[in-house]
Amino acid sequence: MDMARNDLVRIVHMYYEENYTQQQIAEQLGCSRMAVSRYLRKARDMGVVRIDINYDGIFPDLERGMREKFGLRDVAIVPYENGPLLKKRLAQAAAGLLLRRLRPGNVVGVGWGSTLALIPDFLAHTPALGVTFVPLLGGYGQISNRMHANQIASRLGEVFRCKSYILNAPALVNNISLKESLMEDPSIKSTLDVARGADMALVGVGSPFAQESTLLDSGYYSPDDMEKLRASKIECNLLSMIYIDDKGHERSFDVADRNVGVTSDEYKKIPVKMAVAGGCGKLLAVYLAIRQKLVDVLVTDEKTTEFCLGMQ
C-alpha cells in the first residue's frame, strides 16, 4: 500500500518513541514485518526521521584509517589528554578491547609498563573464560612493583579468576653467562615455554628518551647502555628486547642479549600482538611499531593516530 507521510510519522513514533517492535507494528497495520522495515527505511529517506549519532570521544573514521593504512586487525582510539588522565583513558579502552578479543582458553603474554598496570583497574565482573596470563619477561628493578610484568599478569589473573604465572627473574642481567644460567632454571624455563606459546601479547610501546620514559628509571640500564641506544638513534622499544631506530630499522644490542624473556623472533610469532601506548612522547615510537608489523591490535590516542596517518 502507498504509505502517506502522516502514517510514516505514526510508524516512526511507535518504533522509536514507544519502543514497539517491527512485528508488533506489523500486527497493528495488518502487514508483514518486512513491509514495516521498508516503511522505516522510507521514513529515513524522506527525512521523516533523522538519526544523530553522538561521536564525542569516539573516532570511527580514524580507526578505519589506521586499519586500512597499516593492516591492523583492530584499533581503539581515545581523546588526547595532556597528563596522567591519558594513561587511564588508554587503560580503560584497552580493558574493553581485551575483553572483546579474548576467547576461552587463550594464553596471554604480558609486558610491563605504567599504562598496562592500570588495565586491571577497569576490569570488573569479567566472564570466566579459563584464560591464562604469563609474563613475557622478568621483573624490573627500581620502578614500582605494580609496573612489573609479573605483577600485571598476577592482577589480571585475579580479576579473571584464572591462572597466572610468575617469572622469577630480573628482566635484564649484567652478563650473558648469568642469563644462560637463569634460563636453565626449571621454573623460569617452564614459564617461558608457556609465554612462547601465547595466543595474544599485551604490551606497551617504549620511547627510551621521552621525558616520561620509565626505562630511564628502571635501574637496569647502565650509562654505557643508554649511550649506545642514544648513539644509534633508538626511538622505539618493545619488551626491552626489540629496538627500532629513527629510520625504522631493528637494531641489535648486547643489552637485548642480556634480557631474560622471550626473544624478538618469539614475540613476532605470537598470533595477536596488542599494544597500548599514546602521548606526545611516543608519536614516532607507535608509528615505528605498527609500520614494522610489531602490532596487530592498537590502543592509542587521537593525536598519535593523526601523526601516524600523516606519515608517508
Does 21 lie in the same domain as 96?
A: no
Widest CA span of the chain, in angstroms?
A: 84
Structural domain includes residue 105: yes
Confidence of residue 256 (pLDDT cuts 50, 70, 90): confident
Strands 74-78 and 132-135: unpaired
Question: CB–CB of 38/77 below 8 Å?
Answer: no
93 and 18 in a single domain? The answer is no
Residue 263 has pLDDT above 70, yes or no: yes
d(CA 78, CA 2): 46
Residues 23 and 125 in one domain: no
Question: Does 56 score more than 70 pLDDT?
Answer: no
Same domain for 233 and 145, yes or no, is: yes
Query: Residues 40-60: what's their mean pLDDT?
Result: 81
Within this chain, do residues 277 and 241 fall inside the same structural domain, yes or no?
A: yes
**pLDDT of the residue at 283:** 96
- Residue 172 has φ and ψ, to the nearest 5°, of -140, 135
What pLDDT, on a 0 to 100 scale, did the predictor assign at position 217?
A: 62
Residue 232 reports pLDDT greater than 60: yes
Q: Is residue 51 part of a domain?
A: no
Q: Are residues 32 and 65 in the same domain?
A: no
Instruction: Collect contacts of 60-69 with beta carbons under 8 A, ≥24 apart.
Output: 62/302, 62/305, 62/306, 62/309, 63/305, 65/305, 65/309, 66/290, 66/298, 66/305, 66/308, 66/309, 69/308, 69/309
Query: Are 158 and 24 in the same domain?
Result: no
Instruction: State the residue for C-alpha cell 637494531.
Output: 251
Q: Show Cβ contacts of residue 167 under 8 Å, excluding neighbours closer than 6 positions.
A: 134, 135, 137, 138, 139, 149, 150, 188, 191, 192, 195, 260, 261
The listed range with the strongest mean pLDDT (56-65, 127-136, 206-215) is 127-136
Q: Are residues 206 and 181 in the same domain?
A: yes
pLDDT above 90: percentage of residues in the chain: 64
- At 223, list the grid cell: 650509562
- Beta bridge mates, 107: 132
Q: Is the pLDDT of residue 146 over 90?
A: no
Q: How many domains is the chain partitioned into structurally?
A: 2
CA quadruple 89, 95, 100, 102: dihedral positive or negative?
positive
Q: Encode pLDDT of 97-116 as tens digits.
A: 999 999 999 999 999 999 99
55 domain-assigned: no
Note the pLDDT of residue 141. 57
Residue 52 lies in a domain: no
What integer best gives the mean pLDDT of the chain?
90
Q: Is the pLDDT of residue 129 over 60?
A: yes
The fraction of the chain above a pLDDT of 70, given in percent, is 93
Using pLDDT thresholds of 50, 70 and 90, give the confidence band for residue 54: low
Q: What is the mean pLDDT of residues 257-275?
A: 95
Residue 204 φ/ψ, nearest 5 degrees: -100, 175
Q: Does residue 225 surpass a pLDDT of 80? A: yes
Cell numbers that stand for 206 in this block:
617504549
The pLDDT of residue 220 is 67
User: How many angstroms separate the CA atoms of 185 and 285, rounded?
Assistant: 34
152 with 111, same domain?
A: yes
Q: Which of 92-96, 210-214, 255-259 has the lowest mean pLDDT?
A: 210-214
* Strands of the sheet with 132-135, listed across from one edge: 74-78, 297-301, 272-276, 200-204, 107-110, 132-135, 163-164
Domain of residue 286, CATH code: 3.40.50.1360
**pLDDT value, residue 142:** 55
- Residue 235: is its pLDDT beyond 70? yes
pLDDT at 1: 45
Query: Dihedral sign, CA of 17, 20, 25, 28?
Result: negative
Question: pLDDT per residue over 152-199, tens digit each?
Answer: 999 999 999 999 999 999 888 888 899 999 999 999 999 999 999 999
Asked whether residue 99 falls in the same domain as residue 28, the answer is: no
Q: Is 13 found in the same domain as 151?
A: no
Hey, is 139 helix, strand or coil?
A: strand
For residue 83, the model assigns a pLDDT of 82
Structural domain including 299 reads 60-310
The secondary structure of residue 245, as a DSSP letter, is E
In a domain? residue 210: yes
Contacts of 302 (CB under 8 A, 6+ apart): 59, 62, 77, 78, 79, 80
How large is the average pLDDT for residues 248-266?
A: 90
259 three-class SS: strand
Q: Cβ distance 234 to 251 under 8 Å?
A: yes
pLDDT in tens, 60-75: 999 999 999 999 999 9
